[in-house]
Chains A and B, each alone.
Chain A
Amino acid sequence: NAGVTQTPKFRILKIGQSMTLQCAQDMNHNYMYWYRQDPGMGLKLIYYSVGAGITDKGEVPNGYNVSRSTTEDFPLRLELAAPSQTSVYFCASKRTSGSYEQYFGPGTRLTVT
C-alpha cells in the first residue's frame, strides 16, 4: 500500500491564481481530512469528509473548496490564491467512525507571492 499520497510536493503560485492539491489513499478509508500547518503552529483543519459525496467545513475553510466523488480521492481547490494561504498542506485519512488513528500524507508546500 502506498498509504496517503499528495501531489505536488512543492508549488509556487502568484496571487489570484488557482490550483488543486491532490490527495489519494489506497487503504479504503472512509474519512479524509485536509489540514494546513503554518510555521510554529499546530495543524488546523480546513475541510473533512466522512465518505464519498459528503464534505464539511473545518476550522479554517475560507478560500478553499473540496469535493469527494470517490472513496480514494479528496482534492483541495484554491480559487484565488492569497499570500495568507502560504503554508504546508497535509491530507489525512481514517478508516471508520470506530477507529481513531489518522494517517497523514507527506504534505504539499505552497508559496503564494
Chain B
Amino acid sequence: QQQVKQSPQSLIVQKGGISIINCAYENTAFDYFPWYQQFPGKGPALLIAIRPDVSEKKEGRFTISFNKSAKQFSLHIMDSQPGDSATYFCAASIGGETSGSRLTFGEGTQLTVNP
C-alpha cells in the first residue's frame, strides 16, 4: 500500500526557474513531513521539514506548502540552480516510540536544472 504518492517522476527546469514537486498522503496520523535531497552515490540528506500545525515553512530558496484538508504538501525551489540537480524524496512519519518514527517515502523526483 503506497501511503505517500509523489509527482512528477522527473522534472527539468531552467536556471533561475521555480521547481515544484508535489506529494499526497493517506494516513491522517502522520505528523511530520520532511523532504530529503539525494545526490548520486550518496545517502539522502534532510532538506526541510514541516509539522501539520503550519501551512508553510521557508528556508532560503526552499519552501514547503502544506494543505492538511487536502492531505497534500509540496516543495518549491525558487531561483533553481544547476547545483540543485538531484533526486528529491518526500516522506511522512508518525512520531513516538511505539511507531518507531518510521519514514514512509514517496517514489522520488529526479530534478535537472539546466544552466
Q: Which A residues are within 8 Å of any B CB, using their own CB? A: 4, 31, 33, 35, 40-45, 48, 50, 56, 58-59, 90, 92, 94, 97-98, 100-107
Q: Which residues of A contact B80 (CB under 8 A)?
A: none
Cross-chain contact A42 with B100 (CB below 8 angstroms) = no
* A33 to B101 alpha-carbon distance, docked (Å): 10
Q: Is the CB of B42 within 8 A of A58?
A: no
Nearest CB to that of A3 among chain B residues? B43
A-B contact count (CB 8 A): 68
B101 near A43: Cβ-Cβ < 8 Å: no
Decide if B100 touches A48 in the complex (CB within 8 Å).
yes
| A84–B6 CA distance with the chains assembled, in angstroms | 24
Q: Is the Cβ of B34 less than 8 Å from the Cβ of A43? A: no
Task: Please give, as numbers and ranges, the residues of chain A lying within 8 Å of B41 by CB-CB distance.
Answer: 106-107
B46 lies within 8 A of A101 (CB): yes
The CA of A31 and the CA of B108, in the complex, are separated in Å by 24
- Whether B100 and A41, one on each chain, are in contact in the complex, defined by CB atoms closer than 8 angstroms, is no
Closest to A6 in B: B43
The residue on A at minimum CB distance from B44 is: A104
Chain B interface residues (CB < 8 Å from chain A)? 4, 6, 9, 32, 34, 36, 41-46, 49, 89, 91, 93, 95-97, 100-108
11 additional A-B residue pairs with CB within 8 Å, beyond A41-B107, A97-B96, A106-B43:
A4-B43, A40-B107, A40-B108, A42-B89, A42-B91, A43-B44, A48-B102, A90-B43, A100-B49, A102-B46, A107-B41
A4 partner residues in chain B, CB cutoff 8 A: 43
Q: Which of A31, A42, A102 contacts B6 (CB 8 A)?
A: A42
Contact A90 B101, beta carbon cutoff 8 Å: no
A105 proximity list for chain B (CB < 8 A): 43
The 9 closest A-B pairs by CB, nearest first: A104-B43, A42-B105, A97-B97, A43-B105, A42-B107, A100-B32, A48-B100, A104-B44, A101-B46
Complex contacts, B100 vs chain A, CB 8 Å:
31, 33, 48, 50, 56
In the bound complex, CA of A32 to CA of B82 (Å): 33
**Complex Cα distance A43/B90, Å?**
10
